[in-house]
Structure 1
């Protein structure tokens, strides 16, 4: 079974976690922003509706 040879320092561990959390926070902000723009009706984002998807399958 593979095991790490040396213990990872707390600063390296914390740095990796901070990077991971920062990426997640940016994606969450983008998703909220997109959702708000779609709900407000001012969106230029084009997304498929149920009618369009069913026409493509036929």
Structure 2
């Protein structure tokens, strides 16, 4: 027969949730940094071809 598991403490639950939130935070920071570097044209690690506008020939 299986035995019920012990309850996880609240502090351990908070620690795990904070790790999970922090991963999302750093992913957002990196994405914003990459977007800024692409928009300014100073990106060295991401290739983005320049598109022509309607007024350029």
TM-score norm. by structure 1 comes to: 0.69
Q: Could you tell me which residue of structure 2 aligns to residue 6 of structure 1?
A: 6
Q: How many residues align?
A: 48
State which structure, 1 or 2, has the greater radius of gyration over its C-alpha atoms.
Answer: 2
- Structure 1 or 2: larger helix share? 1
Higher relative contact order (CA 8 A, sep 6+): 2
How far apart in 1 are the matches of 2:6 and 2:21? 25
Q: Distance in 2 between matches of 1:3 and 1:41?
A: 60
Question: Which 5+ residue runs of structure 1 have no aligned equivalent?
Answer: 50-58
CA spacing shift, 1:36–1:26, aligned 2, 3 Å: same
